[in-house]
Amino acid sequence: KMHNTLNSVFQSWPVYEEVYNKMVELAAFLDLPRFPDITNNCFLHPNVLCMKYLMEANLPDELHNWTCRVVKKTSVGEVDFLTLMPGNKSTRKVKYDVLAAAVIVVVLKLLFLLDDHYEWLLSDFSAERNKNNKEGEGGPYFEFKKWYEVIKCTLDVEQKKLDEEKAKFLWRCEKPLFYSIKKKSKLLRRRQMVENLQNQFGKLSGSVRPDERPNPSSFQLSWSEENTDGSCFHGHSLKGILQERRGLFAAINPDYWLCTVKLCNEKLCHRLAHYRGVDFPQSYHFVLRLFSFLLRIQPSSIHEEVCVIEHKLFNKKLYRKPKYKTRLRK
């Protein structure tokens, strides 16, 4: 018979991956059958999720073509790959949002390289074109620099808000829990004092915020094209960074750098790739930070997924020859 103690059930903020792993274990334990198929029209399909995150990250809609192409090339859009089969230990389980975010990151790397140098060059180039061609059709050319400035401002503000909310978080449970009867009265008195003090200082906290109803939308950032300050990039065109080749549009950027040359052994390292911010270009880190904020997980989780997708994408080039360079020509 367990008395109540104030060590609440959750000892710390649950980490996404732990919850995910528990979910998978639970599904296997309950012997659940194969989940409903995830097809192209499902919300959880990478094509749809990419669209959602592209909008939320304030990136041009045109990027969606590219995410679809990457999804197709790496076969991460296949029904069998996406659908959850509990109990099937051989297949790696898919984290849908992380996958979508990673695909977007890969596309950004394909188009902008993100080596702290090339993306700014491309941006200047687009800026020139925009200056000379103010009334051009098809919307202005997408400028990485402008996007970066807008996003960074917003991200800093929102991150700060989030950090403050985390700091103010109250851990209490409605009924105090305690393990021994002797301590009961002491704990109850303490609880009473805490409530009194919180009451007292709560009144001094300034205007009482009305109970905020949680926003029904799952979008944390929203951008509207009606804003005249030009802070919405959805309609911007990628023409500045593409060139026509044999009737198809290809990226001007000819290079790509792999996040990691070799994936780790998951059984030993518990991950397929490790991440340390200082080892990578700042633009890449920034992009990871953005999605890390949107998804509320650590950048390393997204980085890991990016590595996996890159290895699927460049599979032939990586595993064909014994000798390889870290920078590949596409």
Partner 1 sequence: MEGLRAGRALQPALHLPFLPRHFYRAVSSNEHRLNFWKSKELCLSYVQDALLQKQWKRAAEFLTSYIEALEKDFSTVFMGPSEMIWRIGTEILCSHSRSNVREFNTFMEQMKTLGIKRYLKVCLEHAFHLLCNGLIDEAYQNLSLAESWRFGEQTLLQDKEMKLIQAYRGLLDYYSWSHQKNILLEYGKDGLEDLSVEQEMHACFRKAAGNLKEIIKIPGVWDLFVKAYVDLLEFYGDHQEAREVLTDYAYNSKFPANPNAHVYFYQFLKRHGAPKKSLISALKILHDIVPSHELMIDFNTMLQKSKKRKRRRLGLEVIFAVLDYSGWKENVKAWSCLARQVKQIVISEKHLDWIQQQWNSRKDWWPAFHFSRYLAKRNWQEDKSLSHEKALVAGILLGKDCKYFKYVSHQGCKARVKRFRTLKKFVNKHSPAYLRMSGP
Q: Tell me: does residue 201 bind partner 1 (CB under 8 A).
A: yes
Q: Tell me: does residue 296 bind partner 1 (CB under 8 A).
A: no
Q: Which residues pair with 329 in a beta bridge?
A: 255
d(CA 98, CA 104): 10
Q: Tell me: does residue 9 bind partner 1 (CB under 8 A).
A: no
* Residue 312 burial by Cβ neighbours in a 10 Å radius (0-12, 13-18, 19+): middle
Q: Residue 128 CB: number of other CB atoms within 10 A?
A: 13
Of 13, 33, 246, 329, the one binding partner 1 by CB under 8 A: 13
Of the pair 200, 228, the CB lying nearest partner 1 is at: 200
Q: Tell me: does residue 172 bind partner 1 (CB under 8 A).
A: yes
- Structure token pair of residue 327: 């920078």
Of 88, 196, 222, 315, the one binding partner 1 by CB under 8 A: 196
The closest of 148, 131, 128 to 59, measured between CA atoms, is 148
The 22-41 contact track toward partner 1, x by CB under 8 A, reads --------------------
Q: Tell me: does residue 276 bind partner 1 (CB under 8 A).
A: yes
Q: What is the DSSP letter of 4?
A: P
**Subset of residues 307 to 326 that bind partner 1, contact rule: CB under 8 A:** 322-323, 326
Q: Tell me: does residue 187 bind partner 1 (CB under 8 A).
A: yes
Residue with tokens 């799952």: 218
For residue 267, the minimal CB distance to partner 1 (Å) is: 9
For residue 94, the minimal CB distance to partner 1 (Å) is: 20
d(CA 46, CA 96): 7
Binding-residue total with partner 1 (CB under 8 A): 50
d(CA 101, CA 312): 16
* Residue 85 burial by Cβ neighbours in a 10 Å radius (0-12, 13-18, 19+): middle
Indicate the length of the chain as a whole number: 330
* Residue 151 burial by Cβ neighbours in a 10 Å radius (0-12, 13-18, 19+): buried
Q: Does residue 244 sit in helix, strand or coil?
A: strand
For residue 167, the minimal CB distance to partner 1 (Å) is: 4
Q: Are 209 and 168 in contact (CB under 8 A)?
A: no
Of 92, 262, 296, 327, the one binding partner 1 by CB under 8 A: 262
Of the pair 130, 300, the CB lying nearest partner 1 is at: 300
* Residue 50 burial by Cβ neighbours in a 10 Å radius (0-12, 13-18, 19+): buried
Q: Tell me: does residue 4 bind partner 1 (CB under 8 A).
A: no
- Structure token pair of residue 10: 């959750």
**Subset of residues 138 to 167 that bind partner 1, contact rule: CB under 8 A:** 164, 166-167
Q: Residue 266: which H helix or E strand, with range?
A: helix 266-269
Q: Tell me: does residue 300 bind partner 1 (CB under 8 A).
A: yes
Of 7-15, 95-103, 111-119, 141-149, the segment contacting partner 1 by CB under 8 A is 7-15
Q: Tell me: does residue 43 bind partner 1 (CB under 8 A).
A: no
Of 82-90, 127-135, 204-212, 245-253, the segment contacting partner 1 by CB under 8 A is 204-212
Residues of the shown chain interacting with partner 1 in the complex, contacts defined by CB under 8 A: 6, 8, 11-13, 15, 17, 164, 166-172, 176, 186-187, 190-191, 193-194, 196-198, 200-206, 260-262, 264-265, 268-271, 274-276, 279, 298, 300, 322-323, 326
